[in-house]
Structure 1
Amino acid sequence: MSLHKHHPQHEEKITDSAFDGGVGSIPRHRLPRHTQDADAALRFVQDELMLDGNARQNLATFVTTWMEPQAATLIQASLEKNIIDKDEYPRSAEIERRCVNILANLWNASTPAGGEDAIGCSTTGSSEAAMLAGMALKWRWRARREEAGANASKPNLVMGANVQVCWEKFARYWDVEARLVPLDGATHLTADQAAAACDENTIAVVAVLGSTFDGSYEPVAEIAAALDALQASTGLDIPLHVDAASGGFIAPFLDQELLWDFRLDRVKSINASGHKYGLVYPGVGWVVWRSSDDLPRELIFSVDYLGGSMPTFALNFSRPASQVIAQYYTLVRYGFDGYQRIQQRARDIATTIAQGVEKLGPFTLLSRGEELPVLAFKLTTPDGWDVYDLSHELRSFGWIVPAYPMPKGMADVDVLRVVVRNGFTFDLAEMFLADLAKSVARLSGQQQARVAFHH
């Protein structure tokens, strides 16, 4: 379904005989009548893509924008493989299984057979992984309610207003009330807020290990303890899911003493994004459950028409094996020490940028890159321009820095956010800070000029 209605008779056309042998023109919004020369078609598309932003200067996205050429070679060599065809591509299926086990062990799951039988799967991204985890939570809650002879028609999911939009999608698509707790004195959900929002219809609490708004970790262990206390006082046994889209590939390497994963009995499932700090090009995500008891069997389908009886649990069916293979490459290539070094460097660069932003003067930092390598900052005192003007000004230097309001409870606060990823360097950080200073000076100068003109 297209959101825009196109009228062929009004379409713009590209008139360049180099593209079509001089026969005519190439329409933008309908299929060309004639076959094009391959090199000409390539150039036509490349010319369109020249107007995209430079991915290395994109400080808005959490998604990986650089991989080693060896990884690109593996991706290119496996683009035609469909990860769902486990019988036809058994080694790709085995690689997916290994990745799940590696992550389960990294997140301290207690798995049988020496950590080789973890319960989990790859997905197209962290959003699909969150959907699958949410489905399992809803099904388990409904089964408990029905077994107790209780009403199972009004499920709810407790989370902070700062959650990624995929959780609101899950709630709407699967008919679950989204209990979005407004921010109150913190930039994320607190333990007391989480426990207070729960009732007998709560399928789970979602704790976010690395908010997309400011990069901060929610206090997972404190939330788990509050839910333990809630169960002791009321009998309500509320599961905890950790959305570790970004933090799942940061905390195990840089914050090893932090309790957030399966070391907490309350945590039943974890999702993460391989194409964020997992260091893989989009798109691949992961979801892991504590045990087989936490993934209802009725959600798993057996597919017989691919050459063998294969279990599958995913929203998407066919998708490339290439990104799963690339994930395995990064895990094998870097190992624990390599991931630790890469993530520490990203954090060091983020904290360096935060120090530079602070020295500029007009900004107040909401986060400093000390958890996720992400910093968010606001204007301390408006000076005739705002963060949206600054975001636009930075575009003139090629930098893509998003400006947006914080979630409900802090919606009157507008911030800029900088995300540091693998491939971003200290040299680029210096360039960014220099261009930020020029942008601030230019905006302040324009404002002063306007004031002087009016006087």
Structure 2
Amino acid sequence: MPSKGWTASAAANAVRIKLRDDIAPETNLATFLTSSIEPEAERLFSDYLPYNIIDRDQYPGATELERHCVQTLAGLWNADLSAAVGAATTGSSEAALLAGTSLLRRWRHRGDTAGHKPNLVIGANAHVCWHKFCRYWDVEPRIAPAQQDRLHLTAQQARERCDADTIGVVSVFGSTIDGSYEPVAEIAAELDALAAESGLDVPIHVDAASGGFVAPFLDPERVWDFRLPRVRSINASGHKYGMVPAGLGWIVWRDPEARTNWLSFDTNYLGSTRANHELSFSRSAAPVVLQYYNFLRLGFEGFRAMHERSRVTAIALADALAGLGPFDVLGDGRDLPVVVVALREGERRWSLRELSAHLGTHNWSVPVYALPPDRQQTEVLRIVVRNELTAPHAKQLLDAVRGYLSGAMATPA
């Protein structure tokens, strides 16, 4: 810290110099986060950045926008609007922790859990936030391994791992590993059968961090949401396919009973007594303002058209990569607009990490990572198609891939 403050322009310039080597968000194909918004949205975000959404009395308008957004999402997810409750969070991770806490409290409320350790059933593709929940809340994670033909949780795997101490099953609707939707309806059917046979009543939480803002617009016929009675809660990330800058998440419960009153804390030092159900407290209202703005600005058809363009681009990109020869396509963009490829067996002349480094020289950030532990010998390259990646940009990316392969594949094995 300098002894005397700098001018605003000098301080801003120093910050920009420190960040000058960071990649432009628009060419960051590693992230699911929204990386560009239109000027009107930028102005709204800036205007309402100082508004603390937890100050309900001081900012009743922001509170009303949050309520409206929760109702909009509950409607998109086919909830009973007269019963559904929810809240904005700082991201899907906070929403997941709240959902897990509700499941844990529901299990403990049975009254016969003394000396028992609760467990949560998840797939190997589950986000790290679920592992955090299990560690922080002392819950046993029962992880279903990835399989050769699919990387997500199956209905049979879920059922096999449930017992009297299972607080719930988390079904990932839009995996960050390969972009796939888990078969929520099939999992629910298996748990219904388990309840009929054994009396075990295991609820489902749907982690729809990405899929929750895609499926309602592109796949309305797919049953994964509150149409399934066993689904107790759903989370989604407004800052992903909800088209809001980081960080914004949403959590919706089927009804107050699913949320449980145990999450509620009354506070009175901001004015009137208000109930708070979130883990965090003070946070900007700006992301919520932009979520409401997007619902008005885009409407249902606007969201549908935007995500359809991304899906079409992703499918075309996956098909083109499959046609190049050395790639096995593990994620083809037909669920989430995400493309995931691995090298075909026997290809040893080059690696995906070398390809990723080459793409970096063309200003594309494309991650390479190992699959979950059960298939950790396999590395994959993932391309997240967002609204910023247009068809011409996808062609430029493909040209960079082809340019690399023309040299790499000419090298003797």
TM-score normalised by the shorter chain: which range applies? over 0.9
Pick the aligned partner of 1:341 from 289, 295, 305.
Answer: 305
Displacement of 1:335 in angstroms is 0.9
Displacement of 1:94 in angstroms is 0.5
Once the two structures are superposed, residues 399-447 of structure 1 have per-residue CA deviations (whole angstroms, 9 ceiling, x without a partner) of 11110111132222110000001122101000000011112223335x4
- Is 1:322 the counterpart of 2:292 in the alignment? no
Amino acid in structure 1 at the alignment position of 2:10: A
- Is 1:74 the counterpart of 2:23 in the alignment? no
| Alpha-carbon separation, structure 1, partners of 2:357 and 2:162 | 42
Displacement of 1:111 in angstroms is 2.4
Displacement of 1:382 in angstroms is 2.0
Q: What are the equivalent positions in structure 2 for 1:86-97 lying under 5 Å apart?
A: 86-97=56-67
The residue that corresponds to 1:376 in the other structure is 340
Q: What secondary structure, in the 3-state scheme, does the structure 1 residue paired with 2:177 have?
A: coil
Displacement of 1:303 in angstroms is 1.0
Once the two structures are superposed, residues 255-295 of structure 1 have per-residue CA deviations (whole angstroms, 9 ceiling, x without a partner) of 11100000000000000000000111111000000011101
- Is 1:237 the counterpart of 2:207 in the alignment? no
Pick the aligned partner of 1:46 from 1, 6, 16.
Answer: 16
Q: What are the equivalent positions in structure 2 for 1:128-143 lying under 5 Å apart?
A: 128-143=94-109
User: Is the 8 Å Cα contact of residues 191 and 219 (structure 1) preserved in structure 2?
Assistant: yes
| Alpha-carbon separation, structure 2, partners of 1:431 and 1:181 | 38
| Alpha-carbon separation, structure 1, partners of 2:113 and 2:85 | 29
User: Is the 8 Å Cα contact of residues 152 and 201 (structure 1) preserved in structure 2?
Assistant: no
User: Is the 8 Å Cα contact of residues 111 and 291 (structure 1) preserved in structure 2?
Assistant: no
Displacement of 1:193 in angstroms is 0.3
The residue that corresponds to 2:362 in the other structure is 397
| Alpha-carbon separation, structure 1, partners of 2:116 and 2:288 | 37
Displacement of 1:393 in angstroms is 1.5
Pick the aligned partner of 2:187 from 223, 233, 240.
Answer: 223
Displacement of 1:118 in angstroms is 3.0
Q: What are the equivalent positions in structure 2 for 1:286-305 lying under 5 Å apart?
A: 286-305=250-269
Amino acid in structure 1 at the alignment position of 2:24: N
- Is 1:174 the counterpart of 2:144 in the alignment? no
User: Is the 8 Å Cα contact of residues 390 and 443 (structure 1) preserved in structure 2?
Assistant: no
Displacement of 1:384 in angstroms is 2.3
Q: What secondary structure, in the 3-state scheme, does the structure 2 residue paired with 1:360 have?
A: coil
The residue that corresponds to 1:251 in the other structure is 215
The residue that corresponds to 1:309 in the other structure is 273
Displacement of 1:392 in angstroms is 1.4
Q: State the percentage of identical aligned residues.
A: 49
User: Is the 8 Å Cα contact of residues 203 and 239 (structure 1) preserved in structure 2?
Assistant: yes
- Is 1:266 the counterpart of 2:230 in the alignment? yes
User: Is the 8 Å Cα contact of residues 104 and 118 (structure 1) preserved in structure 2?
Assistant: yes
| Alpha-carbon separation, structure 2, partners of 1:440 and 1:48 | 34
Please, which moves more after superposition, 407-416 or 171-180?
407-416
The residue that corresponds to 1:122 in the other structure is 88
User: Is the 8 Å Cα contact of residues 124 and 151 (structure 2) preserved in structure 1?
Assistant: no
The residue that corresponds to 1:6 in the other structure is none
The residue that corresponds to 1:365 in the other structure is 329
Once the two structures are superposed, residues 171-209 of structure 1 have per-residue CA deviations (whole angstroms, 9 ceiling, x without a partner) of 111111111111123111100000001111100000000
Once the two structures are superposed, residues 123-155 of structure 1 have per-residue CA deviations (whole angstroms, 9 ceiling, x without a partner) of 0001110110000110011101x1xx3436401
The residue that corresponds to 2:380 in the other structure is 415
- Is 1:428 the counterpart of 2:393 in the alignment? yes
Looking at CA atoms only, which structure, 1 or 2, has the larger radius of gyration?
1
How many residues matched? Answer: 411
User: Is the 8 Å Cα contact of residues 195 and 226 (structure 1) preserved in structure 2?
Assistant: yes
Q: 5+ residue gaps in structure 2?
A: none
| Alpha-carbon separation, structure 2, partners of 1:424 and 1:384 | 29
Once the two structures are superposed, residues 286-320 of structure 1 have per-residue CA deviations (whole angstroms, 9 ceiling, x without a partner) of 00000111011121111100011111111111110
Please, which moves more after superposition, 59-68 or 404-413?
404-413
Displacement of 1:331 in angstroms is 0.8
User: Is the 8 Å Cα contact of residues 205 and 233 (structure 2) preserved in structure 1?
Assistant: yes
| Alpha-carbon separation, structure 2, partners of 1:222 and 1:377 | 27
Q: What secondary structure, in the 3-state scheme, does the structure 2 residue paired with 1:409 have?
A: helix
Amino acid in structure 1 at the alignment position of 2:70: V
Amino acid in structure 1 at the alignment position of 2:85: I
Amino acid in structure 1 at the alignment position of 2:8: A
Q: TM-score when scaled to structure 1?
A: 0.89
Q: 5+ residue gaps in structure 1?
A: 1-30
| Alpha-carbon separation, structure 1, partners of 2:312 and 2:168 | 35
Q: TM-score when scaled to structure 2?
A: 0.98
The residue that corresponds to 2:69 in the other structure is 99
Once the two structures are superposed, residues 234-271 of structure 1 have per-residue CA deviations (whole angstroms, 9 ceiling, x without a partner) of 11000000000000001101111100000000000000
User: Is the 8 Å Cα contact of residues 119 and 288 (structure 1) preserved in structure 2?
Assistant: yes
Pick the aligned partner of 2:124 from 154, 161, 164.
Answer: 161
| Alpha-carbon separation, structure 2, partners of 1:410 and 1:54 | 32
Displacement of 1:379 in angstroms is 0.6
User: Is the 8 Å Cα contact of residues 347 and 370 (structure 1) preserved in structure 2?
Assistant: yes
Q: What secondary structure, in the 3-state scheme, does the structure 2 residue paired with 1:308 have?
A: coil
Once the two structures are superposed, residues 387-406 of structure 1 have per-residue CA deviations (whole angstroms, 9 ceiling, x without a partner) of 11211121111111110111
| Alpha-carbon separation, structure 2, partners of 1:152 and 1:434 | 60
